[in-house]
Amino acid sequence: MSAAAKKAIETGKIWTFPGGIHPPERKELSNHSPIGQLALAATYVVPIKQHTGAPGEICVAVDERVLRGQPLTQSTTGQGLPVHAPTSGTVTAIGPGRIAHPSGMADIVIRIRADGEDESVPQQGLTDYTQVSRAELLDSIRLAGIAGLGGAGFPTAQKLALQRPIDYLIINGVECEPYISADDRLMREHAESIIDGAEILLHLAGCNKGLVAIEDNKPEAIAAMQDVLQQHPHFSLRVVPTKYPSGGEKQLIQLLTGRQVPSRGLPIDIGLIMQNVGTAYAVSRAIRHGEALTERVVTVTGEAVAKPGNYWVRIGTPVAHVLQQTGFQAQDNEQRIIMGGPMMGFTLPDVDVPIVKISNCLLVPSTTELAPAQQEMPCIRCGACSDVCPAELLPQQLQWLAKAKDHEGLEKQNLFDCIECGACAYVCPSEIPLVHYYRKAKAEIRNIAREKAKAEIARERFEARNERLEREKEQRLERHRKAAEARKKAQQEQVKSGGDNPQDAVQAAIARAKARKAAQQKAADEQASSNDEDNA
Amino acid sequence: MTFKLAASPHSHQRRTTKQVMRWVYLALVPGLLTIIYFFGWGVIWQLMLAVITAWVAEALCMKLRGRPIESAWHDHTALVTAILLGISIPGFAPWWIIVIGTAFSIIIVKHVYGGVGMNIFNPAMAGYVVLLISFPVQMTSWPLPVQLSQIDLSFFDSAVLIFTGYTPSGYDLEQLRMGADGMTMATPLDSLRTALNHEMTIDEALQQPIFGSIAGLGWQWVNAAFLLGGLVLLKVRVINWHIPVGMLLGLAVPAALAWMFSPDQSVSPVMHLFSGATMLGAFFIATDPVTAATSNRGRLYFGLLIGFLVFAIRTWGGYPDAVAFAVLLANMTVPVIDKYTQPVAYGHGEKS
């Protein structure tokens, strides 16, 4: 980053990003009460993969007793992220189970029957993390199972391990999605720990400037954080105007620095790294207290719950337990259970799926507050979607192309720069589920690319095999040719040296055989003539 | 228990296509009232005929295409097409003019191309051009402003005229269009063209009573009323500024240049802006999103092109007004405009 660019950032300027929308925020439904605790559930379901990347290997067995914070998986490569037992109890089953995923797909889960003791593994924290090597600190964060809690679920240590120059660490407390107030409450109640975690992250990032961003609709959180930040000169607070999706990584970077992350690139490509406030908090807990990530703040909200608010929920808690504890009452058969917010969340087919590391909200709306989608009408090309697209795409063009399966056209229109924020579908007067079409098209294109890559590999293998066979055949022929030559040569040498020519032996044998045949013929002839005489 | 599945986002802004269309025709009301005030009741009958024809044609097409009929009426797009065409044609034109025009707009221009959102040409304007070319006499027989006319027509007299060709007292349309001197009077733009063809200067031409203080008696106020309605549409964000501003600039800038260099042969930019179908075209016709360019930058160019074409056709072409032709010509250029005005997506610019 150039000096001029840094100077502009230092002035505290807030840039802007194109598009964006102002949906009803509805945060007051859940942000008034302090973060509550839920009673322990009877069983927990811990999916072994809750982050972006490969899962670890399971290191517990059925019927084994586990303690809270005990790793259930471990990584042999030192890259994967472990998951931990959310409470003490017994492993009852390991196998496929439904997980929280838009497709409702199944993955390997570990089921634990809680024993109610809630006994933890012994924990050991660090008072001075600067005395510990960088690698060791990163390993502690990895072993605590920390992945980005803002929604992406990218392993935090892995993000920090990239040894590249970083100008700014951005701590994201924007929380722009309507209804959700988990980060808001966390900042109000645990500002100290969040900033402590942010200092650790800053130390690991190897830079000395941090920006803490909060949307201006959270005055209490801003006050709490500001209070703590006074003792932390490396950090400065940036209050951004309320507009969805200002909390999106790319949009927030544009707001705070006026720069754009290159297409298909990472923030680190322009010297930036971003972490969510919840992640910073988890890092502080992991380093200071040696706590593994076994719980997170979840906003439970919507008019269909009696006690909306924020709760500390153990990772692996079945959604059913959370809803039962908060007084959920299904309104009608149009009832939706949304994991995440109203803009980017996905509906759950049933409530047996567990809360995972990236689950920041459970939204159970009544049909009056969030009316179900109406029937899709034809696009009238009104362009309302392009006016609100923060990525400056042309959503309606993408929609036509996606429906026509014009994959080349979609790539030309930069489909893969779509962040799926849903602003376009929110304003669409024809209620076209635009994001749904984009996701489908992206999946199709990825599948085709994968198939193509597979076919390419198969083709390469096939060609390599053909080549090898050809080569072997030639080698064989060559060998035979050489052997024949060698034989011939040996014969000639034998002849030269006056020894028996093997060819002579063959000739002799043929001559012998001929003589024998002639003798037999002769005998037979004689026999025949004597017989004739007898008959006569 | 299983729960309902739905694709995100789960929150929607409640403005449907129907509401968008409703704003469009509500914003037309001031212009409509002005037309009635200056040109009589004919326009109301034309609108009624247009709407009925549009509904029948729409229902017929949906039936033939095997689609639910109700859904087509729901979005009100056919209604807006009918209203725009009904406003665009001369108020006392015979009834079959508007019926043929509307039926053509809905059946050929809209449904043959695939229905709502799929048509390439602006349905109302394509219908208008078909009528103008096929029935030039009826389509250029504009009524005189009521204030200049010798004969007063009641609401029902207008209907009789439209359906039979004669008023109850036996006048035909030609007689209605005569001024006090017994000469048939043309529209301001028509008169200007005739005057210029007769080697008169603009100043001389403007002496005729048909011209009001600004740009033609009646017409200037009709344009002002459509401008007002258009500003309402901008305010409620049913349309963006790019097309109207583009079109008005595209018309006014060349007009101003021409006027500066040869004031005797050129129409003033103000006159251009407030006569004919300028304001109706800029805010209600060219802004039809289906047939306009896609991006905002593209829409600005699209508007500029229409404005310039209006100027060119009015100045050098064979027809007195030009909005319909200009819009159709610009419709054809939309794919090209779209190709060259695709906005730079996030992360593709130099800012990264």
| CATH node for A11-325 | 3.40.50.11540
* Longest CA span, chain B: 85
Grouped pLDDT means (10 residues each) for chain A, 536 residues: 86 93 93 94 93 88 94 80 94 91 84 94 88 91 91 86 89 95 96 95 92 95 95 94 94 94 92 95 95 95 94 96 92 87 91 92 90 84 90 92 92 92 92 92 90 92 93 93 91 75 77 88 76 55
pLDDT at B69 over 50: yes
pLDDT at B352 over 50: no
Every domain of chain A and the residues it spans: 11-325, 375-490
Every domain of chain B and the residues it spans: 41-142+149-178
What average pLDDT score do residues B140-150 get? 75
Q: Would you call B344 an interface residue with chain A, using a CB distance cutoff of 8 Å?
A: yes
Residues 231-260 of B with CB under 8 A from A: 240
Chain B environment of A373 (Cβ under 8 Å):
6-7, 10, 12
Assess whether the region A11-325 and the region A375-490 belong to the same CATH fold: no
Q: What percent of chain B has pLDDT over 90?
A: 45
Q: Kindly report the backbone phi and psi dihedral angles of residue A95, in degrees, each rounded to the nearest multiple of 5, phi listed first.
A: 170, -175
* pLDDT value at residue B301: 97
CA distances from B114 to A494, B126, B294 (A): 94, 16, 19
- Residue B124 sits at the vertex; the CA angle it makes with B119 and B128, to the nearest 5 degrees, is 125
Cross-chain Cβ contact B347/A433 below 8 Å: no
* pLDDT value at residue B215: 55
Residues 186-215 of B with CB under 8 A from A: none
* pLDDT value at residue A536: 47
Q: Would you call A119 an interface residue with chain B, using a CB distance cutoff of 8 Å?
A: no
- The predicted model scores a pTM of 0.83
Cross-chain Cβ contact A263/B5 below 8 Å: no
Yes or no: say if A257 and A246 are a contact pair by the CB < 8 Å rule.
no
Identify the H or E element spanning A347: strand A346-347
Yes or no: say if A293 and A282 are a contact pair by the CB < 8 Å rule.
yes
Q: Which residue has the higher pLDDT, B157 or A462?
A: A462
Flag the least confident range among A40-49, A151-160, B178-187, B321-330. B178-187
Pick from A357, A208, A355, A200: nearest CA to A286? A200
Q: Would you call B331 an interface residue with chain A, using a CB distance cutoff of 8 Å?
A: no
Q: Kindly report the backbone phi and psi dihedral angles of residue A37, in degrees, each rounded to the nearest multiple of 5, phi listed first.
A: -110, 150
Place of tokens 């509500």: B26
Residues 443-482 of A with CB under 8 A from B: none
ipTM of the complex: 0.81
Amino acid identity for residue A310 in this structure? N
pLDDT at B217 over 80: no
Cross-chain Cβ contact B347/A261 below 8 Å: yes
Cross-chain Cβ contact B17/A394 below 8 Å: no
pLDDT at B130 over 80: yes
pLDDT at B125 over 80: yes
* Nearest residue of chain B to residue A265 (CA atoms): B347
pLDDT at B351 over 60: no
Chain B environment of A246 (Cβ under 8 Å):
none
CA distances from A28 to A179, A182, A294, B197, B314 (A): 8, 12, 27, 72, 59
Q: State the CATH architecture for A375-490.
A: Orthogonal Bundle (1.10)
- Residue B64 sits at the vertex; the CA angle it makes with B60 and B70, to the nearest 5 degrees, is 55
Q: What is the pLDDT of residues B273-306, one digit of tens each?
A: 988 889 999 999 999 989 999 889 999 999 999 9
Yes or no: say if B5 and A347 are a contact pair by the CB < 8 Å rule.
yes
* pLDDT value at residue B137: 85
Chain B environment of A428 (Cβ under 8 Å):
12
Pick from A121, A114, A162: nearest CA to A138? A162
**Backbone region of residue B40 per phi and psi (left: phi > 0; alpha: psi in -120 to 50; beta: other values):** left
Indicate the pairing of strand A272-276 with strand A168-173.
parallel
Binding residue per annotation — A361? no
